[in-house]
A and B are shown apart, each in its own frame.
Chain A
Amino acid sequence: MFSKRQSFICVRTLALWIAVVAVMAGCGGGSSQTTSGQGNISVSVIGLPANSSVVLQNNGGNNLTVSANGTSSFNGAYTISLPYSITVLTQPHGATCTVTSNSSGVIPNAVVLVGVTCIPNTVNGTLIAPPPLSTPGNSTLIALDAGPVAGASQINIPYVSITVCPPGTLGASLACQTIGHVQLDTGSSGLRLLNSSLYANLSLPSVNASGPAIGECVPFAIGVTWGSVVLADIYLGGEVAKNVPIQIIGAQPGGVTAVPTDCSNTGTIQITQDALGANGILGVGLFANDCDICSTQVIPAAYYACTSAGCTNSIVAASQVVRNPVDALPVDNNGVVIQLPTVAASGASALSGTLFFGIGTQTNNALVGTVYATDAFGTITTTYNGSIYTSFIDSGSNGVFFNDPTIALCASTTWYCPSSTLPPLSAINTAAIGATAGNVSFSIVSLFQLSSGAVAANIGGTGSSNFDWGLPFFFGRTVYTAIQGKPAPPGGTPGPYFAY
């Protein structure tokens, strides 16, 4: 069936290119760039299983069969400035491949390297019934360990377990899956789970039942998550957030195998467990969803409507925007409280703490601390060494990231490696609204002098122009993250704010 279709495409494509060449001849005197040389298309394939192959196409033809990981090239010379578009024609046995970078564009005056990432197909697993609810059920365990990636040890990644079910799953219906090693992140809002960490028989419906599949691109500073948007009931501790839009990272919305170019133009695409160091991200940040304006304005590298013809930038209904699961809880929904113990200078080989849902809604989550109101973008300011920085408190940052040229760097990294124990450092946090300010004393230890197997440590590194209070800020503190517009405690100051 494919071979017939291919030959049909090839004939059409050949005709197209003949026509294109004719048109080029008629352009006359255009930019020298259109004719000055030949560009080439190379493909870097990772994750391809042994003894299998993937068939790629350029512009619907020019088939390239790749049977091993590494770099291959499309046959033939390509004319600079002509458009190209790389797609997957035939998936390998046992894996699904996605074009993750440079999927389309015009041939540059150089070799263009197209990235293709293959992920093992998910397999069926034993689904479970929805977990029991409890009262109060507003807490769950936070654990720091080496993480889920075989052969790799993560550091300063706080993990939680959650359970997802198809919306409306009742009682003893065996339709749910518990996923561990999900990164707890106060710096983003919304649940994102790796497709490759989910069972094939877990059936979560598209967020857009009556129309095209919805794709989402979420740029982070270090990489981009891409995937489809589906609905789930999310069990957190002993509570459930029902019918919540979540992102499935690495799923191919509408079967589209190429990551949209505007998405991959914001950073490296992270759709594997190895890249994330987690099975997903539980975003419990300051906002009720991950994009307010995406329901009224088309934003590049955000939401897409996807059909077999590809993904196009699109607005989505407000109810389809990926939502902070805490906001969707029936109670205890105004924010979260995170408690983690202190960590010694040599680091800790294991660490556990507690995530509470709600602020001031139960006896276990009373607000005890100073409130630092953020601006509409979730930032406060930090004064360090006489300079004022935009700052935020973020369990999803695995260090304290700030610029201090007086602290030595570890060789070949941007982490700090002070040669001797630094005296405690000092900074001042100031609320974005109001005059609340307070000193913060913190320490930075050398990444290279931690005890073997440390998974939690007071480490830091160079930053951007932000001051980023990452996970070490949480050690030995109770930190509150309050959702925008929701009084926390009830009747009190509304978020967005951090308190500690």
Chain B
Amino acid sequence: MHTQYMNETPNAAAMNNSPLWLLMVAAICYAAPALAVLGGDAASVETDRLQMKVAQAASQMPAASGSYTVHETILPTGTRVRQYVSKAGTVFAVTWSGPFMPDLRQLMGTHFDTMIARQAQNKHAGRRVYSQHDPDLVIESGGRPRHFVGRAYLPGALPAGVTGQDIKQ
């Protein structure tokens, strides 16, 4: 049921409208900062904020140890996102917690591709938990609709004295 064949592709239709032209021109002239992510630089936190349509700048909380800063953002959906940025300016961890899943590609970048490739292979994984503990990448994502929590971090990029236990949602 519900099988429909296209007689016009979505993009062919869109091409007839001028806004796409404008969008493409804008995209080309836009000097994009580095995208935005786990393993990216501190500027990516601001890119995330704009991408996720958050009005307020992330609040910053220096860690007690002084070796990193936590940038916390509340998305319009109510979900809280935290990005852990080292003094050297690297995003070494991201976390999320709230009623709706955030844009994980935006938060994790190429590591998201690692996750979905692994998800696609996981036949016995259960529907509520994704867990990956590799030497160079840890991802824990859990919950169900109305309650999602997760974190992803790069063990090799943790500042001295910081462990996975310090990465809290």
Residues of A in contact with B (beta carbons under 8 Å apart): 1, 5, 9, 12-13, 16, 19-20, 23-24, 27, 30-31, 33-34, 57, 59-60, 81-83, 85, 87-89, 91, 96, 101, 106, 108, 110, 113, 121-122, 152, 155-156, 185, 187-189, 195, 198-204, 218-223, 228, 230, 248, 251-252, 254-258, 262, 265-268, 275, 277, 285, 287, 290-291, 297, 299-302, 308-310, 377-379, 390, 392, 394, 396-399, 401, 413-415, 447, 461-466, 468, 470
Contact = CB atoms under 8 A, between A and B. Distances in A.
A308 B128 contact: no
Contacts of A19: 21
A83 B11 CA distance: 12
Contact of A221 (B2, B3, B133, B143): B143
A87 B9 contact: yes
Contact of A465 (B104, B106, B125, B142): B142
5 contacts: A30-B29, A188-B144, A255-B6, A398-B124, A464-B141
Contact of B103 (A81, A266, A308): A266
B149 A390 contact: yes
A258 B10 contact: yes
A377 B146 contact: yes
A401 B169 CA distance: 18
Given A188-B145, A377-B146, A464-B140, A414 B15 contact: no
Nearest to A30: B31
Given A30-B31, A228-B2, 11 more contacts: A82-B28, A156-B126, A255-B5, A256-B10, A257-B10, A265-B103, A300-B100, A308-B6, A390-B147, A462-B133, A465-B151
Contacts of B28: 20, 23-24, 27, 30, 34, 81-82
Contacts of A248: 1-2
Contacts of B11: 57, 59-60, 85, 87
Given A222-B127, A301-B100, A466 B149 contact: yes
Nearest to A32: B31
B103 A262 contact: yes
B116 A267 contact: yes
Contacts of B169: 465
A408 to B, nearest CB: 14
Nearest to B120: A268
A279 to B, nearest CB: 14
Given A265-B106, A310-B10, A401-B126, A394 B140 contact: no
Contacts of A257: 6, 10
Given A27-B29, A57-B11, A262-B103, A222 B128 contact: yes
Contacts of A377: 99, 146-147
A332 to B, nearest CB: 23
B88 interface: no
A309 B126 contact: no
B3 A121 contact: yes
A450 B129 CA distance: 21
A396 B33 CA distance: 41
A161 B65 CA distance: 56
A465 B151 CA distance: 9
B147 A379 contact: yes
Interface string B77-121: 100000000000000000000011111111000101101100110
B64 interface: no
Contacts of A275: 120
B33 to A, nearest CB: 8
A187 B126 CA distance: 12
Given A88-B6, A302-B100, A463 B1 contact: no
Given A265-B103, A394-B128, A398-B126, A106 B27 contact: yes
